[in-house]
Structure 1
Amino acid sequence: MTPDAHLPDAPADGGTHRPEPTPSEIRRWRKYLADERAEGAIYAALASRREGEEREILLGLATAEKRHEEHWAALLGEHADKRVSPSLRRTMLRFMARNFGSVFVLALAQRAEGDSPYEDDDDATAQMAADELVHEEVVRGLATRGRTRLSGNFRAAVFGANDGLVSNLALVMGVGATGVSSAFVLFSGIAGLLAGALSMAAGEYVSVRSQRELLTASQPTQVTLVAAPDLDLQANELVLVYRARGMSREAAEHRAAERMGKFSCDCDPSLSLQPELPEETEDEHETLGSAFGASASSFCFFASGALIPILPYIFGMTGLAAVVLSLVLVGIALMATGGVVGLLSGASPAKRGFRQLAIGLGAAGVTYLLGLLFGGTVA
Structure 2
Amino acid sequence: MVAPKEDLVKKPRAPRKTVAKKDTTVESVAHMEEVNARHISENTKEIKSNSSMLHLLYGVIIVLMLIIAGLAFFVGANMGNNNNTSGIVAATPAEDIEVVVYDDARCTDCQTDEIVGQLESLPFLAGATFVRKDFSDAGVESYLKDNNVTLLPAITFNTNSISGGTQITDFLTALPDNNYTLALPSTFDPYATRSDKGFLQLGDNSEIVTAIKADGYIDGNLDAQITWIEYSDVQCPFCAKLHNEGTPEAIKAKYGDDINIVFQHFPLDFHAQAQKGAEGLECIAEQDESVLYPIIAQLYEKYPNQDMTIPGLIEIAGSNNINGEELQTCIDSGKYAEKVTSQMAIGQDAFGITGTPGNVLVNNATGEYEVISGAYPASAFEAVIDSMLK
Q: Tell me which interval the TM-score lies in, with the shorter structure as reference length.
A: under 0.3
Report the TM-score, using the length of structure 2 for normalisation.
0.21
* Bigger RCO of structures 1 and 2 (CA < 8 A, at least 6 apart): 2
> Higher strand proportion, which one?
2
Name which one, 1 or 2, has greater alpha-carbon Rg.
1
